[in-house]
Amino acid sequence: MGEMKKCLDKGYVILHDVMGSDLTVANAARVSYDKRSEEITDKDERLIKFLAREGHTSPFRHVSLQFEMYAPLMVARQHWKYIVGSDHTMDAWNESSRRYVTEEPTFYIPAANEWRSAPENSKQGSGKNVEAEIGSHYTKQLMRIIDEAEAQYNSAMGDGICAEQARLFLPAYGMYVRYYWTASLQSVAHFLNQRLAHDSQVEIQEYAKAVYELVESKFPISISQLVKK
């Protein structure tokens, strides 16, 4: 198993596989002149900085990374939004399905001090944390609803209802899903630039930070130029 970064209460990101390096990016650009380096040099670093600065992004698509993500559905669907409709090539997404998988459902449950208020000047996003008493109430309410839903789910399965219909009883947005995401370095950088932003949803920011830390260790030059932190 690759390196793991934990997220939220039960989630994680694992970097399973990497094809290429910063040197791959530089050599992909140099092929125009039939040139190639065997090890990274200051000249390669300057070339990578030039490519990122001038928007010459195709060399960054000769590198790919494979992640395993375990995230609440609300996070996974936000992530997916930046895959569909993106003009960056070399993306693949495969997700576990409750049509076939009947493992124990797992849910994201915010702690009492993690509930946030609605923002004052926006229709989306969130504001400051609510008072502890209010947060505690809604943590308990969410746990009660999940317990009831799981009981209905297990009852339906026990009565022979097929898994693909029994799953309708499970609350969707907070349920953890497991998926593989394979993407070019450029596409990963696009996701990071969007989801590391301070106004993005807090939960997906956690996953973006985990992805950034995993990628930075493999592509320190490229990611420092592609991602605006």
Q: What is the 3-state secondary structure (H, E, C) of 58-81?
A: HHHHHCEEEEEEEEEHHHHHHHHH
CA distance 129 to 110: 11
Mean pLDDT of 96-108: 83
* Catalytic residue from among 30, 61, 77, 195: 195
Check if the beta carbon of residue 88 is closer than 8 Å to that of residue 184. yes
The least confident of 64-73, 116-125, 131-140, 193-202 is: 116-125
pLDDT band at 162 (very low <50, low <70, confident <90, very high): very high
Q: Is the pLDDT of residue 115 over 80?
A: yes
**What does the pLDDT read at residue 95?**
86
pLDDT band at 139 (very low <50, low <70, confident <90, very high): very high
**What does the pLDDT read at residue 156?**
96
Q: Is the pLDDT of residue 19 over 60?
A: yes
In the structure encoding, which two tokens stand for residue 56, read together? 């010459």
CA dist 122 to 5, 117, 134, 173, 203, Å? 31, 12, 22, 22, 18
Per-residue pLDDT reduced to its tens digit, 32-69: 888 899 999 999 999 999 999 999 999 999 999 999 99
Element at 151 (helix H, strand E): helix 132-158
Question: Whole-prediction pTM value?
Answer: 0.89
Active site residue 53: no
